[in-house]
Chain A
Amino acid sequence: MRDIEITEPVEITLNGELVTAQNGELLIDACERNGSYIPRFCYHSRLTPVGMCRMCLVEVDTGRGPALQPSCMIPVSDGMGVDTESDGVAKAQDGVLEFLLANHPLDCPVCDKGGECPLQDQAYAYGPGESRFVEEKRHNEKPIPISELVLLDRERCILCDRCTRFADEVAGDPLIHFIHRGSHTEVNTFPGEPFASYFSGNTVQICPVGALTASPYRFKARPWDLEETESTCTRCSVGCRVVVESSRNKVLRLQGVDSDPVNWSWLCDKGRFGFQAGNSGNRLSRPLQRCESGELSEVGWNTALDSAASVISAAIAGRGPQSVAVLGGARLTNESAYSWAKLAKDVIGTDNVDCQLGDGLPAELVLGLPGASIDEVCEPGATVLYLGPDAKEELPILYLRLRHAADFDGVKIVEVGPTLTGLSPYAAESVTAVPGETPSVLAALLDGTSEHVEASALLRNASDLKVVIGRANLAEDEAITVQTADLIRESVPGATFLPALRRANVRGALEAGLAPGFLPGGATLAGTLPTGWQSMPAERGGGAAEILEDAANGRVDVLILLGSDPLRDFPDRSLARRALAGAKTVISIDPFVNASAEQADLVLAASMFSESAGTTTSLEGRVTALNQLVTPPGTARDDWMIAVDLADRLGADLGVETSADDLAEEMAGFSDAHVVLGDGAPVGDGVMLDISGRDLLTSAEVEVPPANAYSLRLVLNRTMYDKGTLLEESESSAGLAGESVVKLSAADAAPLGVDGSTQVKVTSEHGSVTVAATIDSRVPKGVAVMHHALGDVDAGTLLVHGDPVCDVRVEVS
């Protein structure tokens, strides 16, 4: 049950005693809050009540005498009388339980739900011990797969409608349904249409029996053997709260926690099943060093750290501290990110540090814009200008929250972007802007000269505009996003912003100072020396693109990849390649030997999610706990430990006595949110940073070349499942990445002779790839869409960092 604030108290009589409840709340909740838990199966506080299972029947008296009513359907009103314990109620509930058990198989000993099953618990607590049902039970084929990840055992199903309601009203993927009728009713998919939903795992979590199971957990453990801890999902920046469960030092399951400001108990499948990467056999358990033969081979930590320290010292002594560069850090905990910021900027003295890979938002925007929380964006009645990437693909639970806001809370979403997205069906208005033209399209919308009258009116009439801002197109210069933000702030001074960041802890890493020109807490190099620091970089360094450019030109002696893989993630793929080749020494700190690490001279084995404790900061600026439950493989260790050891070898002390808490304590010096963390990990919904914004904002004016009639503008974006390392290393998602394609509008496809899946050649000024073309109704005319990191086709070779947009020609090959 969710906590609520009682704003409209009414008195009801519950089992003879006067108690207070919130007017209009459901009786089942009011009774629970007042100490009478009513058994239930179909009711779920995040789903529309349906009153189907009848388990929650109680006697309700509204003046006409007591009558059996489902308490999950009855809103509380003043003076209501409720009896949850009468003989009649007990008989009705026992009756329902008996009915549910009549056809239920005696599977408990082999059922994954056994031990945490409400049906089993109820039957055990109140059941008669012997069945009066002597007939043969209903039979169905034992579990049938309804999707890649979820299996359904119809014999165990009690037809509570939770999974089906979830699929329909929460996920918006109504692909599972009741079929047949009466006692033949069953949940199933439509023929030939699997339950292909990014959110399918939630149905397993909310199924009150063992009817739905997810393949990653089936037959892996019994609930009573599990150890658990609360934590935060780190597969994207939404920051969903989770319970992590393990057995024998292995994470086996993640469950969503009902965090009211964040994920409402839901998780996306990427987040829910992504823990599998941690259990992958390809995990790095010891440091690797490139040996004489050119192979990467295992070495001890002392050797590895010594050689890392010596190349760094040599670089500092040689061309100076700026010849060392640190790329990445957005996947680290706040504490590790801080330790690395301090190592880089204080100990080494370089400002060539960037936690993002040219695919995010400039630090000035994230740290500077006046912020809006997820709840503020989804506030009933709000108007939201959505300028981010496809939320369904990249920020799945933010998508669910926005979808709910639009469907149930009257939130008007005006989406402006290069294509239609997963959110478009729920947006009040979707306006497409060809890459490069967002600022001009938006300017017209905001000043009322746009032909999109409704969208314009919505934006212009919004009293309190919320903006979700991000990169919908990696082939478009980030300066255009800066220009867009500037334009909005100019036209709508009170607008607040939610940055649609990608990696889990970009915000925390930026707050920790992992960006050029910045110190912890959003301070700049112009500011004072942070407490506990000895020095700071003498000159401002460069961001990811400049670092790679420098590396390519032989100006980087040590390139440290801090949990980053530029070869896969930096949009300008050829620059990334040249940089890795051009850097004198490449040190990768990662749980895996990713594509970039394969080219490194030294790979330091890092711990992962649930192997290290600390905190993380979500896109809205919420600091929540990451707790440790299992140990990392071999001698792999936390990133902050590596930083401390390196600092030590470089003759400095990062100030850590015992644990990452010492770092947290130091961070408290520059951030209110971290004060709490000083005395241990924050519990519950975490703590919000001050997101009121900082005076850091710059403006930009980008000259976008006019589109020419022979070419299309490239949109490069992401899908939920791609060939990223963590997805590939998770058993359940490994096969889910789609094939590389270029998606065209029907209008552009026709003259090219493209239909179905024609092979085409996509050529830009800088490169060319051959790929299958498909027609997609979400793509507007004049635009070609390719996805990041799918298959072997490397769309990143088509673009060059710094070009405002990327024009391509598409020809049938």
Chain B
Amino acid sequence: MSDTAVDTQESTQEVPKVVSSRFDVDDGHTLHGYTQSGSFEGYAALRRALTMTPGAVSELVKDATLLGRGGAGFPAGVKWGFCAPDVWPRYVVANGDESEPGTYKDRLLMERDPHQLIEGSLIAAYAIGAAQVFLYVRGEMPHAQERIAAALNEAYEANFIGKNILGTDFSVDIVLTFGAGAYIVGEETALIESLEGNRGMPRLKPPFFPAAKGLYMMPTIVNNIETLSNLPWLLSHGVREYRSIGTEASPGTRLIALSGDVERPGVYEVPQGTTTFRELFESERYGGGIRGGRELKMFIPGGASAPWFFPEQVDLPLEGRVVGAEGSMLGSGAVVVMDDTTDAVRACWRLVRFFARESCGKCTPCREGTVWEERILRRILDGQGRPSDLDLLLDVADNISPGPYPLAAHPEAGLEAVPFPPRQTTICPLGPSSVAPITSAISRFRHEFEGKINRKDSIPVTSAGVTSV
């Protein structure tokens, strides 16, 4: 779509609210609120799905190209089709472990519209033939947990869940489970391990693709909360209307959790591919401009795991494919804006520290490498860096994620974009994610690192040897 088309849409069209229509409704989280308010009638989509064959529901979702909203952006309908044929029982898992720094859109979906999630999960369960759904909610989200629990009780009472739902022979149970405070459990196979009562450590893919061998080694569909929350609207309004939003390759909307140095941080539902980052940051409807009228220094387009973008990239549309080709990812829909007061080295360290702390420890490069990266950065910040440390840091990073790491283009420096995804010596993408801030920051702000190494711009070391954070 051309830039003019974007402009036209911004000026003339009201953005449809696919998943966030009850965010501002006081009782939107109750069954009453769900059926009486919002952009579609609550549980009508389930009724409609139950009149269709499961296969037809799957086809519909496939036709709509409902891209997964958990990170990888894989089309949900296609994923559902990967269930090992004729193997039962099957499970649906709703991934509500949202822990990626900057990401807080699933939390709102769970707190403000739990019935929408429940209805979406039921539709998915019906489509793939699952008799059980597991709703896995992050441990630190008690409000979401309570709201979902209450909604589940209402839905059971109303026979939307349970035996012979709405008089049909479709029966399903929804089990609510809580995490225990590990980011890695958001990774689908680690989540499955956790559900089984084991340590939350990812499984190797291959062979353990959940759709083939998932929970209890049975076919399992893991979908993000937002992915599932799209289903009621999609079934109520149909494929054509759904596809009329966004672009051909990425139809529909996305919830963007905007944070950092903007005037109006918050969760915004934006049409995919037709909105640019500039619009997101600057328009009054969204970010309202860089805070205090300062300059944009860099931004993370898709959560802490995503390589950074810079002012050169602000006119890119929020579309997975485009962002991927330009060297980053739309990921979890968390956009973090950093203005020109941001210390790039410190930002880099802060992000790497997150991954070092959240490494599950299963594989060597991530377990040992992320901490090593963090300690080198910490040393540099503390004014104890050595000139050789940047090469060391990049080489340690290369041993976690070998070869050219995804990177935004930097025409001025003659750098071309390296497309997503990175390669890995690790089991899961967490280790390689720690490399994103390092290569991003060093590619643009090497002088800031060197300044600290040369003790020109160092943060003083406290008596404890480490500065407080």
Within the complex, what minimum Cβ distance (angstroms) separates B428 from chain A? 11
Confirm or deny: B186 has a beta carbon within 8 angstroms of a beta carbon on chain A: no
- Expressed in whole angstroms, the Cα–Cα distance for A611 and B204 within the complex equals 49
Q: Which of A54, A91, A133, A180 contacts B364 (CB 8 A)?
A: A54
Within the complex, what minimum Cβ distance (angstroms) separates B104 from chain A? 23
B359 surroundings in chain A (CB, below 8 A): 181-183
A734 surroundings in chain B (CB, below 8 A): none
A50 surroundings in chain B (CB, below 8 A): 204
Q: Which of B399, B423, B427 contacts A99 (CB 8 A)?
A: B399
Could you give, for residues 152-192 of chain A, a 1 whenever the CB lies within 8 Å of some chain B CB and a 0 otherwise? 00000011000000000000000000101111110000000
Question: Closest A-chain residue to B391, C-beta based?
Answer: A132
Question: Closest B-chain residue to A41, C-beta based?
Answer: B364
Q: Which of B361, B363, B402, B425 contacts A181 (CB 8 A)?
A: B361
User: With A68-B402, A99-B369, A185-B367 given, is the CB distance from A178 to B361 under 8 Å?
Assistant: yes
The reply to whether B425 and A159 form a contact with Cβ atoms under 8 Å apart is no
- A residues 88-128 touching B (CB-CB < 8 Å): 88, 91-92, 94-96, 98-100, 102-103
B330 surroundings in chain A (CB, below 8 A): none
Confirm or deny: A130 has a beta carbon within 8 angstroms of a beta carbon on chain B: no
B427 surroundings in chain A (CB, below 8 A): 51-52, 54
Could you say which interface size class chain A belongs to?
35 or more
B365 surroundings in chain A (CB, below 8 A): 54, 95-96, 99
- Expressed in whole angstroms, the Cα–Cα distance for A181 and B356 within the complex equals 10
The reply to whether A51 and B204 form a contact with Cβ atoms under 8 Å apart is yes
Confirm or deny: A316 has a beta carbon within 8 angstroms of a beta carbon on chain B: no
Could you give, for residues 360-374 of chain B, a 1 whenever the CB lies within 8 Å of some chain A CB and a 0 otherwise? 111111011111100
Could you give, for residues 432-475 of chain A, a 1 whenever the CB lies within 8 Å of some chain B CB and a 0 otherwise? 00000000000000000000000000000000000000000000
The reply to whether B425 and A182 form a contact with Cβ atoms under 8 Å apart is no
Could you give, for residues 339-379 of chain B, a 1 whenever the CB lies within 8 Å of some chain A CB and a 0 otherwise? 00000000000000000111111111101111110010001
Within the complex, what minimum Cβ distance (angstroms) separates B424 from chain A? 8
A53 surroundings in chain B (CB, below 8 A): 363-364
- Expressed in whole angstroms, the Cα–Cα distance for A178 and B398 within the complex equals 27
Within the complex, what minimum Cβ distance (angstroms) separates A763 from chain B? 47
The reply to whether A183 and B399 form a contact with Cβ atoms under 8 Å apart is no
A88 surroundings in chain B (CB, below 8 A): 402-403
Question: Closest B-chain residue to A136, C-beta based?
Answer: B375
The reply to whether A135 and B372 form a contact with Cβ atoms under 8 Å apart is yes
- Expressed in whole angstroms, the Cα–Cα distance for A96 and B427 within the complex equals 13
Confirm or deny: B408 has a beta carbon within 8 angstroms of a beta carbon on chain A: no
Question: Closest A-chain residue to B360, C-beta based?
Answer: A181
The reply to whether A185 and B361 form a contact with Cβ atoms under 8 Å apart is yes
User: With A92-B402, A96-B364, A185-B361 given, is the CB distance from A102 to B372 under 8 Å?
Assistant: yes
Confirm or deny: B392 has a beta carbon within 8 angstroms of a beta carbon on chain A: yes
- Expressed in whole angstroms, the Cα–Cα distance for A235 and B358 within the complex equals 48
A54 surroundings in chain B (CB, below 8 A): 363-365, 425-427
Within the complex, what minimum Cβ distance (angstroms) separates B212 from chain A? 14
Within the complex, what minimum Cβ distance (angstroms) separates B419 from chain A? 15
Question: Closest A-chain residue to B372, C-beta based?
Answer: A102
Within the complex, what minimum Cβ distance (angstroms) separates B232 from chain A? 37
Confirm or deny: B447 has a beta carbon within 8 angstroms of a beta carbon on chain A: no
Confirm or deny: A344 has a beta carbon within 8 angstroms of a beta carbon on chain B: no
A178 surroundings in chain B (CB, below 8 A): 199, 361
The reply to whether A96 and B360 form a contact with Cβ atoms under 8 Å apart is no
Question: Closest B-chain residue to A183, C-beta based?
Answer: B371
The reply to whether A57 and B368 form a contact with Cβ atoms under 8 Å apart is no
Confirm or deny: A668 has a beta carbon within 8 angstroms of a beta carbon on chain B: no
The reply to whether A159 and B402 form a contact with Cβ atoms under 8 Å apart is no
The reply to whether B375 and A182 form a contact with Cβ atoms under 8 Å apart is no
B370 surroundings in chain A (CB, below 8 A): 182-183
- Expressed in whole angstroms, the Cα–Cα distance for A57 and B365 within the complex equals 12
User: With A88-B402, A95-B399 given, is the CB distance from A52 to B368 under 8 Å?
Assistant: no
Q: Which of A55, A94, A103, A132 contacts B368 (CB 8 A)?
A: A103
B109 surroundings in chain A (CB, below 8 A): none
Confirm or deny: B182 has a beta carbon within 8 angstroms of a beta carbon on chain A: yes
Could you give, for residues 49-73 of chain A, a 1 whenever the CB lies within 8 Å of some chain B CB and a 0 otherwise? 0111111010000000001101001
Question: Closest A-chain residue to B184, C-beta based?
Answer: A181
Within the complex, what minimum Cβ distance (angstroms) separates A181 from chain B? 6
The reply to whether B368 and A102 form a contact with Cβ atoms under 8 Å apart is yes
Could you give, for residues 424-468 of chain B, a 1 whenever the CB lies within 8 Å of some chain A CB and a 0 otherwise? 111100000000000000000000000000000000000000000
B361 surroundings in chain A (CB, below 8 A): 159, 178, 180-185
Could you give, for residues 224-260 of chain B, a 1 whenever the CB lies within 8 Å of some chain A CB and a 0 otherwise? 0000000000000000000000000000000000000
Within the complex, what minimum Cβ distance (angstroms) separates B438 from chain A? 15
Within the complex, what minimum Cβ distance (angstroms) separates B274 from chain A? 33
Within the complex, what minimum Cβ distance (angstroms) separates B353 from chain A? 11
The reply to whether A182 and B367 form a contact with Cβ atoms under 8 Å apart is yes
A103 surroundings in chain B (CB, below 8 A): 368
Interface-central residue, B361, B364, B402, by most chain A CB under 10 Å: B364
Question: Closest A-chain residue to B403, C-beta based?
Answer: A88
Within the complex, what minimum Cβ distance (angstroms) separates B189 from chain A? 12
- Expressed in whole angstroms, the Cα–Cα distance for A100 and B361 within the complex equals 12
The reply to whether B399 and A98 form a contact with Cβ atoms under 8 Å apart is yes
Q: Which of A67, A102, A182 contacts B357 (CB 8 A)?
A: A182
A52 surroundings in chain B (CB, below 8 A): 362-364, 427
A102 surroundings in chain B (CB, below 8 A): 368, 372
Question: Closest B-chain residue to A99, C-beta based?
Answer: B368
- Expressed in whole angstroms, the Cα–Cα distance for A22 and B400 within the complex equals 32
The reply to whether A95 and B360 form a contact with Cβ atoms under 8 Å apart is no
List 30 A-B pairs, Cβ < 8 Å: A55-B364, A68-B402, A68-B424, A68-B425, A73-B204, A73-B206, A91-B399, A91-B402, A92-B399, A95-B398, A95-B425, A96-B364, A99-B369, A99-B372, A102-B368, A133-B372, A135-B372, A159-B361, A159-B367, A178-B199, A180-B361, A181-B359, A181-B360, A182-B357, A182-B358, A182-B359, A182-B361, A182-B367, A183-B356, A183-B371
Closest 10 CB pairs of A and B: A95-B399, A185-B361, A99-B368, A182-B359, A183-B371, A182-B361, A135-B375, A51-B204, A99-B364, A92-B425
For the complex with contacts A91-B402, A94-B399, 18 further pairs of A-B residues with Cβ separation under 8 Å are A52-B363, A54-B427, A73-B204, A73-B206, A92-B425, A95-B425, A96-B399, A99-B364, A99-B365, A100-B368, A102-B372, A178-B199, A181-B359, A181-B361, A182-B356, A182-B357, A182-B371, A183-B370
